[in-house]
């Protein structure tokens, strides 16, 4: 009986000395590199992708349009994948910042984005104080052409409407300020005419 006790103690010491240090154990799963097939566009031509639509296409989220939301717009995400199979560059009418909102000659016409304040969505200004909306449709519009022709708030018939991007029609309620940012020297062009004028090879 006494000898068994020493035998158990010896086995215990042996078991402890046989244990590996944590750094000696490789817990990472073995990764086997698998060769993937080459990407191909098939019969599609993604070289000049143009997207038409409304808020979802533009990237409108949290009640506003801002750079981060535009980066995550559905067409921009698609264009990133298309670029892996022959897709070309993809241009968007980016706003000036991540605040959101629009101004017309210094007067705010669209409020900044909403944020989560702990109890629910609230205005950005309720969280950080007053902000200046810097995207002004009369002062600092980007230069096209744009592949993303998503216009927040647009309905299907608006895509055919001449003057929908004319700044003179904004106060009359006949134009969309988000489309005004895209029209440049052709204020009376329709969204559809602008898209067709780019001769898209693929559209959504």
Residue found by looking up tokens 């022709």 in the block: 149
- By residue count, the chain amounts to 204
Mean pLDDT value across the chain:
91
pLDDT tens digit sequence for 47-87 = 999 999 999 999 999 999 999 999 999 999 999 999 999 99
Burial class from Cβ neighbours inside 10 Å (0-12, 13-18, 19+) for residue 71 reads middle
Nearest to residue 58, comparing CAs of 167, 179, 170, 175? 179
* Cα distances (Å, whole numbers) of residue 11 to 8, 16, 17, 20, 161: 5, 9, 10, 16, 88
Q: Output the pLDDT for position 10.
A: 74
Domain carrying residue 185: 49-96+140-203
Residue 38: inside a domain, yes or no?
no
Residue 128: inside a domain, yes or no?
no
pLDDT tens digit sequence for 101-138 = 999 999 999 999 999 978 888 899 888 889 999 999 99
Residue 116: inside a domain, yes or no?
no
Nearest to residue 95, comparing CAs of 29, 53, 150? 150
Residue 31: inside a domain, yes or no?
no
| Both tokens assigned to 58 | 């533009």
- Stretch (H or E) spanning 191: helix 191-196
Residue 79: inside a domain, yes or no?
yes
Q: Which of 15-24, 29-38, 128-137 bottoms out in mean pLDDT, i.e. has the lowest?
A: 15-24
Q: What's the structural domain count of the chain?
A: 1
């Amino acid at each position: 009986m006494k000898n068994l006790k020493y035998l158990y103690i010896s086995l215990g010491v042996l078991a402890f000395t046989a244990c590996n240090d944590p750094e000696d154990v490789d817990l990472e799963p073995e990764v086997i590199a698998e060769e993937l097939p080459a990407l191909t566009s098939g019969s599609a031509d993604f070289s000049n992708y143009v997207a038409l639509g409304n808020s979802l296409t533009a990237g409108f989220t949290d009640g506003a349009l801002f750079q981060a939301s535009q980066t995550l717009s559905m067409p921009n995400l698609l264009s990133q994948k298309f670029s892996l199979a022959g897709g070309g560059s993809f241009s968007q009418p980016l706003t000036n910042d991540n605040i959101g909102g629009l101004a017309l000659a210094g007067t705010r016409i669209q409020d900044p984005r909403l944020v989560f304040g702990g109890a629910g969505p609230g205005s950005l200004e309720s969280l950080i104080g007053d902000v200046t909306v810097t995207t002004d449709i009369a002062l600092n519009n980007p230069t096209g052409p744009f592949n993303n022709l998503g216009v927040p708030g647009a309905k299907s018939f608006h895509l055919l409407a001449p003057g929908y991007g004319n700044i003179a029609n904004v106060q009359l309620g006949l134009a969309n300020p988000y489309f005004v940012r895209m029209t440049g020297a052709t204020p009376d062009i329709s969204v559809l005419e602008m898209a067709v004028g780019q001769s898209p090879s693929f559209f959504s």
